């Protein structure tokens, strides 16, 4: 086999075994650091593909852990704004919206912002959340 052919085959094998997507700003496990009253995820695992975010989490209910489905969007930083994060938290068992979160990524391992909780009372309740990457 010609040296050039072997080099091309080797380069192809390396390229095919390399990861296809580089880590995104929100990929990873996030822990709740502070929260106003409500039922946010205590931990969540997020995956970001472009501007789309998906994930799972767990919130502490009255007497059990509640699984949470997470979805949302990411907007990259601009000269006038840090990266923006919008997340929806839904009960994993029935899809009911439990909270809407809007925040920023002021530093790579911290998300903070405001939240609106649904279903706690007959009127949506507002609050704040801070998450840090594990």
First to last CA, the chain: 49
* CB-based contacts of 121, cutoff 8 Å, min separation 6: none
**CB atoms inside a 10 Å sphere around CB 118:** 16
SS3 state at 105: strand
pLDDT digits (tens, 9 = 90+) for 36-50: 888 889 999 999 999
State the Cα–Cα distance between residues 112 and 36, nearest whole angstrom: 12
CATH number of 24-133: 2.40.128.20
Q: If the chain, 134 residues long, is cut into consecutive pieces of 10 residues, what is the mean pLDDT of each piece?
A: 49 49 90 89 96 95 88 97 97 92 96 92 91 96
Q: Which pLDDT value is given to residue 39?
A: 83
Q: What is the DSSP letter of 29?
A: E
Q: What is the DSSP letter of 81?
A: B
Contact yes or no for 115/38 (Cβ under 8 A)? yes
Q: Which pLDDT value is given to residue 134?
A: 93
| pTM as predicted | 0.81
- For the chain, the structural domain boundaries read 24-133
90 - beta bridge partners?
Answer: 69, 97
pLDDT digits (tens, 9 = 90+) for 59-70: 987 788 889 999
């Amino acid at each position: 086999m010609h040296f050039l052919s072997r080099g091309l085959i080797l380069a192809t094998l390396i390229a095919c075994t390399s990861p296809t997507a580089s880590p995104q700003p929100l990929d990873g496990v996030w822990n709740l650091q502070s929260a106003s009253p409500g039922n946010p995820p205590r931990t969540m695992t997020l995956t970001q593909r472009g501007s789309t975010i998906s994930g799972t989490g767990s919130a502490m209910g009255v007497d059990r852990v509640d699984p949470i489905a997470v979805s949302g969007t990411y907007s990259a930083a601009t000269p006038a704004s840090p990266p923006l994060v919008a997340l929806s938290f839904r009960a994993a068992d029935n899809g009911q919206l439990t909270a809407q979160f809007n925040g920023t990524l002021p530093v790579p391992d911290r998300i903070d912002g405001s939240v609106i909780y649904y279903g706690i009372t007959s009127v949506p309740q507002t609050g704040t959340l801070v998450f840090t990457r594990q």
